[in-house]
Amino acid sequence: MKSDGYILHWSILLLIVLAFSACQKVNTPVPDNNKQEVTFSSHAAYKGKKNTISQNDLQHVDYALIGIDTKVYAAQVYNLEGTLYTTSIKLAPGTYTLTKFLLMNNNQTPTDSSDDVLAYATPMAASDYASFVDRPAGFSFNVGTLVKTEVPVEVLLFNPDDYQKFGFSFAVLPQTTIREQHFTGRFLPADPNNYLGSLYQSQTNGLKSNMPAIYRIDVYRNNTFVVAYNNENTLGEQPLTVQYPDGNQTTDTFRFDLFVYVKSGTGFDYRFVHSWEFSDGQTLHHSSDGVVHFVVGDAQNREADYAFGPVANLPQNCTLFLDHGFAPGSLGGYFDVSVSTVSGDYSLVNGNYPGWCGTDTVSINLGHPYAMAVIGSLTPELLPAYARTTGRWNQLNWLFNHLDNYSFYDWDILQGAAWMILNDWNGIGHSGVSDANSLVLQMVADARHHSDFIPGYGQKAAVIFIPEHTAQNEQTPKVQLVFTLIDL
């Protein structure tokens, strides 16, 4: 039995979801002389139209949960020559909408619904599996006067891994505890005037230097996307509750990806900020009110449970061209890089920048255009595995923001220090870079003490160029890792 967190049993939530609101309930039909008998018949199928399940392969079913308009009815089920029939319910003559149809196995405990298993289901209209049946849930049927009505319903064999493809909430998953955690955030923009026309302008207090954050949290279970939540409907002014399914008989790992609504080019969008990872009943660090408090835009904030730096306004991709001249370039870097194909009001725009190498062991072609993904060093989780050295990017950012600590340096010194910080360069010079001298070693030693450094507004941050479509788990770069710096 798992503990910790905020727990709702899946069976309770299942009834809530099926009933469509907390005030509705499963109904047991009562005798009524004005009502007519209605039964439902089902041919169970595998995924794929008319691919009917044979009698030998038919899963045992005990009862059906039938959503009709705003109510849910429970009816016993029996098997007649491979067709499943429900016992009759009674409805007054008229037109109704079938909103759900689930065939359940009671797991040989008819008086305990907590371990019941969903065996077959009719997919919801507009779901991935809706095309596998002629009439997905959401269709209408008529009940006549003085006549018994049979409503044919197509169902598919249910696999818990496919619940979203049926159009269902994860509340239908068997033997699952639904856990929840609560979040609230603050957003500190560099200039509130940059958010004219955004959702923030509609908040109760309007645009401020410190505003309730509008954000989204994507939930992953065992590296599979489960559900996304956002707080747009409250404009960030109320805490957000995140619910997620935890298997009672399994060890599950979870990841919450935080995206905050910020300036993106000439508009506004959700941009990635951070990933939290945990397992089973673990909860994130939270305040005494049971809510996870976070701040975006001030990494030094001590009043929050989690504090993150500025969100760089970067394009998702660009074309990168390395000038033929290198060691040194003309702009004070190892080489000059030309950025193009950027459209929008970003912090990185089309033009020339001083560029640096992140590793001394991989080559890159000069004078060749590369299609690159653009990733900020404050979100290293987005980098491929070979570049995802969180603390080292922090060290590099510290160095480039504290060059006044050193009386003399040039491109050669900085490139050697960058190689050593990011890639453990052995100090033996090559490719136009000299052997590491005492200043390089001093810079690196100083930077190593600042693995937690996060630059703030008005400081510099590295921007990294990675070939587009690079796999997240890639361990070795195919081309040289290139970076430049921007002002936050």
Note the pLDDT tens digit of each residue in 434-487: 999 999 999 999 999 999 999 999 999 999 999 999 998 999 888 999 999 999
**How far is 257 from 270, CA to CA, in rounded Å?**
11
If phi over 0 gives left and psi between -120 and 50 gives alpha, with beta otherwise, what is residue 309? beta
Q: In 349-410, where does DSSP find H-type helix?
A: 390-401
Per-residue pLDDT of the chain (488 residues; tens, 9 = 90+): 344 443 333 333 333 333 333 334 445 444 556 899 999 999 887 777 666 777 777 788 999 999 999 999 999 999 888 889 999 999 999 999 999 999 999 988 888 887 788 999 999 999 999 999 999 999 999 999 888 999 999 999 998 888 889 999 887 777 788 899 999 999 999 999 999 999 999 999 999 999 999 999 999 999 989 889 999 999 999 999 999 988 887 889 999 999 999 999 999 999 999 999 999 999 999 999 999 999 999 999 999 999 999 999 999 999 999 988 889 999 999 999 999 999 989 999 999 999 999 998 898 999 999 999 999 999 999 999 999 887 999 999 999 999 999 989 999 999 999 999 999 999 999 999 999 999 999 999 999 999 999 999 999 999 999 999 999 899 988 899 999 999 99
**How far is 398 from 127, CA to CA, in rounded Å?**
49
The CA-based dihedral angle spanning residues 103, 106, 107, 111, taken in that order and rounded to the nearest 10 degrees: 170
Instruction: Name the helix (H) or strand (E) containing 178.
Output: strand 176-187
* Domains of the chain by residue range: 8-172, 176-308, 317-487
Please provide residue 16's backbone torsions phi and psi, each rounded to the nearest 5 degrees: -65, -45
CATH number listed for the domain at residues 8-172: 2.60.40.3540
**pTM here?**
0.76
**How far is 187 from 199, CA to CA, in rounded Å?**
13
Closest CA to 430 of 369, 368, 360: 360
pLDDT by residue (tens digit) across 279-305? Answer: 999 999 999 999 999 999 999 999 999
